[in-house]
Structure 1
């Protein structure tokens, strides 16, 4: 008597198949990696970024549906982008913004307030502008980062 062992291959459907995903700040870093993952999961992508050249490179890598190069921290340009969208969307992720590089002890508080205001305002503007475009069950995701830069431990505590 012989026992046959059969391998069971479980196939799964891509999680974002047929869904439209916008990545604001999608030309590099976390935004580009998010676009790569969303593309691998079957999403149709709309990418934005400040640099047209970087944006085109990213778009060709992930086969983006469309791109739009603009500074997302400009409320008028951001509103225009959402007004001109050709379709409703399922998900929007915001990774745009400029990180702060340096030691906290050296941080100018006025500059810090401007950076925080820029990020907070960007998130509010995206939420307002995307509200009429995001389908029921969709999502808005806001993320910030430090651009993968770190202060050295020996420098971070020195005055």
Structure 2
């Protein structure tokens, strides 16, 4: 792990969607290592449990960004745990790379529900909790780097 800056996030609170693995989990680990408090979400209970065991003090919430009610549930939990937030990292997302000819309406709707609607609804629900000067970054698509000939989504 790269060098940490002890205390950089002391007294600060963050929410990270899609924080049970990958970039989200690494971000949560870094913030906690530097003194912050973090609540992460994910859809997989086992991955959330593993993240909590690996990162002492990490809070978790099983939460599916595709569910329109998930944003309000997360905001309620974040407010109960932290009151206000110094930042929200909207990182939940997924993709199924497949040829255009194989895309179904169901495939499209599921990805749109998480990657677009979920982001908008979570930003809408969590932004009022973010302190003045806080941040709300969003992870975009990796398709730019992982494109597939004839692929879409």
What TM-score comes out, normalization by structure 1 length? 0.74
SS at match of 2:69: helix
Structure of higher CA gyration radius: 1
Find the counterpart in structure 1 of residue 103 from structure 2.
108
Tell me how many residue pairs correspond in the alignment: 143
Find the counterpart in structure 2 of residue 8 from structure 1.
none
User: What is the 5 A alignment of 1:71-110?
Assistant: 71-85=64-78, 86=80, 87=82, 88-103=84-99, 105-106=100-101, 108=103, 110=105
Find the counterpart in structure 2 of residue 131 from structure 1.
127
> Structure 2 regions of 5+ residues with no counterpart?
none
User: What is the 5 A alignment of 1:6-155?
Assistant: 13-85=6-78, 86=80, 87=82, 88-103=84-99, 105-106=100-101, 108=103, 110=105, 113-114=108-109, 115-116=111-112, 118-146=114-142, 150=146
- Which structure has the highest helix share of the two? 2
CA separation of 1:151/1:124 partners in 2, compared to 1, >3 Å: closer, same or farther? Answer: closer
What TM-score comes out, normalization by structure 2 length? 0.77
> Structure 1 regions of 5+ residues with no counterpart?
1-11
Instruction: Output the CA distance in 2 between the equivalents of 1:29 and 1:106.
Output: 30
